[in-house]
Structure 1
Amino acid sequence: MNDQIKGATPLSSVINTVNTIIGSGILVLPYAFRTDSIFLGTLIILFAGLANGMGMILQGAASKFLPRGTATFFTVCRITYPKLSVLFDFAIFLQCFGVNISYLVLTGDLLPLVYTFDGWSAHSMKVFYIAYSTIMIVPLCLMKKIDSLKYASVVALAAIVYICVLIYGYFIVAICTDYKNIPTEKLGGISYFKPQGIKPVFKTLGVIVLAYTCPTQFSIVSELENPTMKRICSITYVSMSITAFIFLSVSYAGYLTFGNTLAGNILLMYGNNFYTQAGRALLVLMVILSFPLMFHPARVSFNNIYHVFSEKLSNKSETAEEEHARIDETSPLFGSHEPDSAFLELSHELVTLGHGVDVPMSTQRFYILSAVLLAASYSGALLLNSFELILSIVGATGGVLISFVLPGFYGYKLIASDDVNTKRRLESCSPEEADNGLFTSPLLKKISLFLIVWGLIVMFICLYSILFE
């Protein structure tokens, strides 16, 4: 029956995946080549793409243990490691909140280059433009439904395509004119094999990890028509190949244009002409429209975390314990004599939990959380004025958790499991995949464990390199 459900085609799924992955982080990738060298930077981008791709495949595999269309990070956590649901919310919050701060910093960096006020200092204009953005951002963030913002993805795609073409164009012109179009003070040497050092490499590693992060993989899988593992793997291979090619080509073009004079955001390196002004303005419009799209899940995750800790502090966790007991009693994982009906009851409950209705958010709390998070976002943007620094921190925390750690936990729990009830869950939810060797692969289970260890190591080393220079 699932095969007859209409959904997204593989081509549209590839487009959505690539569009979701490629964002403003691409502006810092050429700078990563400055710290890593061309050789090591190439290896890191390829390896990060491979690791992220494996994480996406593990997410697709995990979705097969739930009814179609109900798999999210939260619902998969409920059937693997229920206590990790808070970790998931924390990862989503870090990802979205940090990216929003980077959006505001980017707005403050670019708009003064689009329109300059005579007699104003650079800092004053940055503060003014960041504050001025509240006129559009705050009303959009206070909307409880954001369906009308679906066109932000169109603006985002147009902005990224334009910026890529701009970077390629400047590089081609530089080659053809023997770099006469680049000011002498912006021309630096090229490092082919020697990185700047271990700490600089790990500082930019977080940026590369974040650039590949795809937080909507479960949604893409849910919307896919006939979502077999073969299709999911093919979409992941094609999407990551396209993304890696774009990342590498932009990194080569940007770095070979300016060399070691690059300082973070490459858009700040280009002169003030019509083409670069248009790119900056388009990118600012993109981040302003994208801000509420990231703000909404950040608010929901923050509310979930607040709810869990408030319940524990007030000693009112009996309801949650009863809920877990009821799940355990009815789940086929514990030997029910009627596995099908029990499984359907559990699935229905997971669907309900997946939509978040188990965590209330009153109107009063909605506005309080909105005010607190908006104030924190704008305060962070004014205090942290380095675009690449923010992306490094976000990538080393939320990006690592979403890309490596959580998918690794899912795969290690579900793949090649000796638990009969886990196999029964797969057979009940996805009978067409029951004989797929992917779900019994010891190699994939080891890869899952590797992603967990790799992710935790990257997180701690990157954070150490960033915070203790």
Structure 2
Amino acid sequence: MSDTTKGASSISAIINTVNTIIGSGILVLPYAFRTDSIFLGSLIIIFAGFANALGMILQGAASKFLPNGTATFFTVCRITYPNLSILFDFAIFLQCFGVNISYLVLTGDLMPLVYTFDGWDKYSMKLFYIACSTLLIIPLSLMKKIDSLKYASIVALSAIVYICILIYGYFFIALLTDYNNIPIDKIGKVSVFKPQGIKPVFKTLGVIVLAYTCPTQFSIISELNNPTMKNICNITYISMSITAFIFLSVAFSGYLTFGNKLTGNILLMYDNNLYIQTGRALLVLMVILSFPLMFHPARVSLSNIYHVIIEKLNNKSCIQFEINNSIENTPLLNTESNNLPEFAQHIVDLEHENEIPISNTRFYLLSLILLTCSYIGAIYLNSFELILAIVGSTGGVLISFVLPGFYGYKLIASDDESVIRKLYTFTPSEAENPIFKSKLLKKLSFFLIIWGFIVMIICLYATIFE
């Protein structure tokens, strides 16, 4: 059985969750207010936060149908929709891998604005700074646990705080000086209620929704030292409340500073000075330190895909049939029991086989392949926004909405005895929790699936047919 006395604290989980969610996309949120208006933009930010929080809670609930510490998108798919597990893992890999490429592209684009070498052309400086990023990215990406990155996450969060203070500071100085600190050609009108149109709203809807994506939720849950549903829900509530407050305040302050003159990344709107240059440098530091938080689930998903392909090539039989038979032929466990009987321990052993551990050789080989491909992609791809938009509108939406919705609809308030027995077998202390019997949560899970597909279609339409 997993040792739950050691692991990540709730504070560590909150730090990693907030740092994973809040990335470079925060700088585009003021522009979303320009297209949506302050009122509609605020509603979308709040609603998107609620939808993502629901998805994270459903992931936490799904983890209780597996042995503690073994839940991943892959293993949950194996007990819900096993035939689609490789497809879902590919979506996760695509999202995380694509975001990492965009981080490297952003590094190559911003660092030449921070420090320029005389006689160097733009492309040479881009290559130089992307190469320099390896000094931090490679060691952090080779750490095997998300919790090992908590100190890097604290540094990244400090960078976020600085950038937010920079945006707040310029806004308040503008108010106090009657906007004398902002060039007249960068001050536009402000729209409180009237959006620019349906299509612009659709485009920024994707930006806002995807800004909340957290692909590391299962990893964070697996490493908790107290992974109860109450603790998971509290971590989600606190993390999403902090994130939503930051998103709303940055969007509000940034938009009211420049109004409808805003053009995308707000850091590019300010005149060059020491504070702005420092903010740009810290943004680069932030995305570099966020790289391993995306790299971790990408590596796990690629390993799962490799395992399934090899398994099929070798004509191995699926272990899930044996697990289900073992569970279906046993009575429900007493929820007061603290120890699993012998037959349940056997099921745990089988489920751990289904977990697909990564050997050291595979771990380092996959890391080498992913890092190499990420850097090659960053060198040859130039559009940060396009990469993030396309990858996020597919993999990001699947991770945040569609997959958690499917999990919740299959597992919550289920009439399937094999599903119920999994819960009583692996987490008997949580089996009577009202969450697992909630008809409302089951309906919300179905809503999350529909919402996810709608957002996916809207985001892809707005990106491809811009």
In which range does the TM-score fall when normalised by the shorter chain? 0.7 to 0.9
- C-alpha distance in 2, partners of 1:152/1:363? 21
The alpha-carbon deviation at position 423 of structure 1 amounts to: 1.3
Q: Is 1:323 aligned to residue 300 of structure 2?
A: no
- C-alpha distance in 1, partners of 2:130/2:201? 33
My pick for the range that moved more, 24-33 or 86-95, is 86-95
Structure 1: tracts of 5 or more residues without a match:
none
My pick for the range that moved more, 353-362 or 259-268, is 353-362
- C-alpha distance in 2, partners of 1:117/1:392? 31
Q: Is 1:413 aligned to residue 410 of structure 2?
A: yes
Letter in 2 for 1:107: T
Residue 329 (structure 2) aligns with? 335
Q: 1:151 to 1:239 in 2, by over 3 A?
A: closer
Contact 1:60 1:229 in 2 (8 A): yes
Letter in 2 for 1:276: I
Residue 163 (structure 2) aligns with? 163
Contact 1:10 1:224 in 2 (8 A): yes
The alpha-carbon deviation at position 7 of structure 1 amounts to: 4.6
Residue 214 (structure 2) aligns with? 214
Residue 205 (structure 1) aligns with? 205
Tell me the secondary structure at the aligned position of residue 196 of structure 1.
Answer: coil
Structure-2-length-normalised TM-score = 0.88
Contact 2:141 2:292 in 1 (8 A): no
The number of equivalent residue pairs is: 456
Contact 2:215 2:294 in 1 (8 A): no
- C-alpha distance in 2, partners of 1:80/1:377? 36
User: 2:459 pairs with 447, 457, 462, which one?
Assistant: 462
The alpha-carbon deviation at position 325 of structure 1 amounts to: 4.0
Q: Is 1:72 aligned to residue 72 of structure 2?
A: yes
Tell me the secondary structure at the aligned position of residue 180 of structure 2.
Answer: coil
Alignment of 1:216-231 (within 5 A): 216-231=216-231
The alpha-carbon deviation at position 136 of structure 1 amounts to: 3.5
For residues 146-204 of structure 1, give each alpha carbon's deviation from its aligned partner in whole angstroms, at most 9, with x where no partner exists. 36865432321111011011110010101111111111121111121222222222222
The alpha-carbon deviation at position 93 of structure 1 amounts to: 1.5
For residues 62-121 of structure 1, give each alpha carbon's deviation from its aligned partner in whole angstroms, at most 9, with x where no partner exists. 11111222222222111111123213322221221221222123223322221234576x
- C-alpha distance in 2, partners of 1:406/1:359? 29
User: 1:391 pairs with 367, 370, 388, which one?
Assistant: 388
- C-alpha distance in 2, partners of 1:67/1:222? 10
The alpha-carbon deviation at position 369 of structure 1 amounts to: 5.3
Residue 423 (structure 2) aligns with? 426
The alpha-carbon deviation at position 364 of structure 1 amounts to: 6.6
Contact 1:21 1:211 in 2 (8 A): yes
Residue 15 (structure 1) aligns with? 15
Residue 345 (structure 2) aligns with? 344
The alpha-carbon deviation at position 131 of structure 1 amounts to: 4.7
Contact 2:299 2:366 in 1 (8 A): no
Residue 275 (structure 1) aligns with? 275
Q: 1:342 to 1:290 in 2, by over 3 A?
A: same
Tell me the secondary structure at the aligned position of residue 214 of structure 2.
Answer: coil
User: 1:442 pairs with 439, 444, 450, which one?
Assistant: 439
- C-alpha distance in 2, partners of 1:304/1:225? 25
My pick for the range that moved more, 51-60 or 3-12, is 3-12
Letter in 1 for 2:452: G
Q: 1:391 to 1:367 in 2, by over 3 A?
A: closer
- C-alpha distance in 2, partners of 1:171/1:362? 47
Q: Is 1:98 aligned to residue 98 of structure 2?
A: yes
Tell me the secondary structure at the aligned position of residue 415 of structure 2.
Answer: coil
- C-alpha distance in 2, partners of 1:111/1:241? 32
My pick for the range that moved more, 417-426 or 300-309, is 300-309
Residue 398 (structure 2) aligns with? 401
- C-alpha distance in 2, partners of 1:23/1:362? 26
- C-alpha distance in 2, partners of 1:4/1:142? 27
The alpha-carbon deviation at position 368 of structure 1 amounts to: 4.9
Letter in 2 for 1:38: I
Give RMSD over aligned pairs: 3.0
- C-alpha distance in 2, partners of 1:150/1:229? 22
- C-alpha distance in 2, partners of 1:408/1:371? 34
